[in-house]
Amino acid sequence: MTITLPAFTPMEESLFLTQCGRALDSRSPHPILADTMAAEIARKLGYDCGRFHLSASPILNIALRAKNSTRSRSGSSPATPADRAVSPL
């Protein structure tokens, strides 16, 4: 079964940036999220994640932001000091 996607506005299209970042993270040798479902969704939709031209840095940022967001919602604290996000002053 083929899924036909509608035409998206630039704002709607930008939502796929996070989806693709998560999918590409799952394909890396050492994934942060290992979100294989994100990769499966992109594949089933036939969405071309290559259109964003993501390098390793934005993929890493997307994955880390998602991981920290999940921790914040669950109320758990990072397991080790290395897991804590450090922001510059």
- Does any domain span residue 59? yes
Angstrom distance (rounded) from CA 64 to CA 80? 15
- Does any domain span residue 1? no
CA-to-CA dists, residue 51 to 13, 27, 48, 79, angstroms? 11, 17, 6, 36
- Does any domain span residue 7? no
Q: Is the pLDDT of residue 88 over 70?
A: no
- Does any domain span residue 42? yes
- Does any domain span residue 86? no
pLDDT band at 37 (very low <50, low <70, confident <90, very high): very high
21-30 mean pLDDT? 94
Q: Which of 11-20, 40-49, 77-86 has the lowest mean pLDDT?
A: 77-86
Q: Is the pLDDT of residue 78 over 60?
A: no
Q: How many domains does the chain have?
A: 1
